[in-house]
């Protein structure tokens, strides 16, 4: 995923006085990008939104960038060719980068099938700010679920360039977290993500979380 040539040659980066560090201090937690990847039907969106719900109930600042939702707006002009998929991920990566500067725990739920694009997304973020979460679910199970009826259409040739059927998915080799979504319950999967965030010192101290939860009642 090559970064496009900047055609805005007369612009100068403005350094704001309200920095990411000040926003994180105000929020009482660090910002980070949780990048959920996996086949369609692997549970990426379900898990991302469930994690967000848990964090939101604790008073933390969150936002989910969901694959389907983004394609209704920011990326509505893109199809599913390899080139369009790369551009889709580039836009999402830049958006996620802005959100972590805003002090937000950002969760992205995209198939993001290519290793190179995921690696480039990671390279855009400061060290430790990109957490790749591989929602592992065998293609056969995803196809049996076929939550949106997309696999059936892909098998019939009604959808071209469909990941796992007519377009490849390159598995993460060293994800920060691999979750067997076909074996674990949603609650167990959520807990794995929360545990990782605690281990990485992303979340505030438990006493602060408790206070924040009490203030939302």
Q: What is the CATH number of the domain that holds 36?
A: 3.40.50.300
Residue 95 falls inside a structural domain: yes
Residue 49 falls inside a structural domain: yes
Domain with 58, as residue range(s), is 21-207
Q: Two tokens at 116? A: 């190179």
Residue 9 falls inside a structural domain: no
Using a 10 angstrom Cβ sphere, with 0-12 exposed, 13-18 middle and 19 or more buried, the burial of residue 28 is middle
Residue 214 falls inside a structural domain: no
Task: Measure the CA–CA gap between 32 and 62, rounded to whole angstroms.
Answer: 10
What is the set of active-site residues? 112
Residue 10 falls inside a structural domain: no
Q: 29, 60 in Cβ contact below 8 A?
A: yes
pLDDT of residue 8: 63
CA separation, residue 181 to residues 63, 70, 86 (Å): 22, 23, 26
Residue 14 falls inside a structural domain: no
Decide the pairing of beta strands 62-66 and 105-109: parallel
| Average pLDDT of span 89-107 | 93
| Number of domains comprising the chain | 1
Residue 212 falls inside a structural domain: no
Residue 213 falls inside a structural domain: no
* pTM listed for this prediction: 0.85
Q: Find the angle CA(83)-CA(88)-CA(90) to the nearest 5 degrees.
A: 95
pLDDT of residue 205: 65
Higher-pLDDT residue of 68 and 203 is 203
């Amino acid at each position: 995923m090559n970064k496009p040539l900047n055609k805005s040659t007369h612009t100068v980066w403005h350094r704001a006085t309200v920095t990411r560090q000040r926003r994180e201090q105000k929020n009482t937690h660090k910002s980070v990008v949780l990048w959920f990847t996996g086949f369609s039907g692997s549970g990426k969106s379900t898990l991302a939104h469930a994690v967000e719900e848990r964090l939101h109930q604790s008073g933390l600042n969150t936002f989910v960038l969901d694959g389907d939702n983004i394609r209704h707006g920011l990326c509505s002009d893109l199809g599913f060719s390899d080139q369009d998929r790369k551009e889709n991920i580039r836009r999402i990566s830049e958006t996620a980068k802005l959100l972590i500067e805003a002090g937000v725990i950002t969760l992205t739920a995209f198939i993001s099938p290519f290793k190179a694009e995921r690696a480039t997304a990671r390279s855009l973020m400061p060290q430790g700010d990109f957490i790749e979460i591989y929602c592992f679910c065998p293609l056969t199970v995803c196809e049996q679920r076929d939550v949106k009826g997309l696999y059936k259409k892909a098998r019939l040739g009604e959808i071209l360039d469909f990941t796992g059927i007519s377009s490849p998915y390159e598995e993460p080799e060293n994800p920060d977290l691999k979750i067997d979504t076909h074996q674990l319950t949603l609650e167990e999967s959520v807990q794995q993500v929360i545990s990782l965030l605690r281990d990485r010192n992303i979340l505030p101290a438990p006493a602060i979380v408790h206070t924040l939860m009490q203030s939302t009642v």
